[in-house]
């Protein structure tokens, strides 16, 4: 096994999704903080490793992988003792992939990033109500995905749970989960938060992002 290095920042949901995966697999790794505000991700060295200059980025024995979903799947395929987190069965894997794409396109890009970019990079202090409504629409879909299951893809935890919890846990202050409307989602989030490595891998970073939102957002219009 080569030396694993994860590059990232704590508030980033995709970084936290990778940290959850590393923790679940019991893998030792070095964590390197990337100072985004100082432009470290745009340095010649970083761009050489990752032309998209994003976080997270995983370094493994001289190889570089970015995009949280790619990193998580790679870690399971290379290091997991079994395939429970990312099943080899075609249908079960398709379910996980669907949830991962939903997280990427709808929950992260369509909900969180759609709010974060104007707030953090354009100093906007007001969030349109339509953007909050988009979060609640995503909650509704997740409620249906969970159904009568314990997790998003069945009775065992998968990469889909790690990916989606990293973003959903960052949105709950902006759009609180109503236990009357989304009881299964509320129960799932509570179940995920009981993982022994949850706080260190995800909880603290999610709170950092929530606190930043609370500091910068003055009202929802």
Which residues carry out catalysis?
12
User: CA-CA distance, 45 to 184, in Å (whole number)?
Assistant: 45
Q: Structure tokens of 163? A: 């990916």
Biggest alpha carbon–alpha carbon distance for the chain: 51
User: CA-CA distance, 144 to 131, in Å (whole number)?
Assistant: 21
Query: What Rg, from alpha-carbon coordinates, does the chain have?
Result: 17
Mapped onto helix, strand or coil, the DSSP state of residue 220 is strand
- Please state, in angstroms and as integers, the Cα–Cα distance from residue 39 to each residue in 35, 45, 46, 164, following that order: 6, 12, 10, 27
- Please state, in angstroms and as integers, the Cα–Cα distance from residue 168 to each residue in 5, 42, 165, 172, 193, following that order: 26, 28, 5, 6, 12
DSSP class of 151? B
């Amino acid at each position: 096994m080569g030396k694993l290095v994860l590059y990232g920042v704590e508030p980033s949901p995709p970084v936290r999704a990778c940290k959850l995966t590393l923790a679940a697999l019991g893998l030792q790794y070095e964590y390197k903080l990337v100072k985004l505000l100082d432009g470290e991700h745009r340095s010649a060295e970083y761009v050489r490793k990752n032309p998209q200059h994003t976080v997270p980025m995983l370094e493994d024995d001289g190889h570089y992988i970015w995009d949280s979903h790619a990193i998580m799947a790679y870690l399971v395929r290379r290091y997991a003792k079994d395939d429970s987190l990312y099943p080899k069965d075609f249908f079960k894997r398709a379910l996980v992939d669907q949830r991962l794409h939903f997280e990427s396109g709808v929950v992260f890009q369509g909900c969180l990033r759609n709010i974060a970019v104007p707030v953090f990079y354009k100093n906007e202090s007001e969030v349109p109500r339509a953007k909050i409504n988009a979060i609640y629409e995503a909650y509704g879909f997740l409620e249906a995905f969970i159904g009568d299951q314990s997790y998003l893809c069945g009775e065992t935890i998968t990469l889909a749970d790690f990916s989606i919890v990293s973003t959903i846990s960052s949105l709950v202050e902006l759009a609180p989960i109503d236990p009357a409307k989304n009881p299964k989602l509320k129960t799932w989030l509570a179940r995920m938060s009981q993982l022994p490595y949850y706080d260190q891998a995800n909880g603290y970073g999610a709170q950092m992002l929530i606190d930043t939102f609370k500091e910068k957002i003055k009202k929802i219009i």
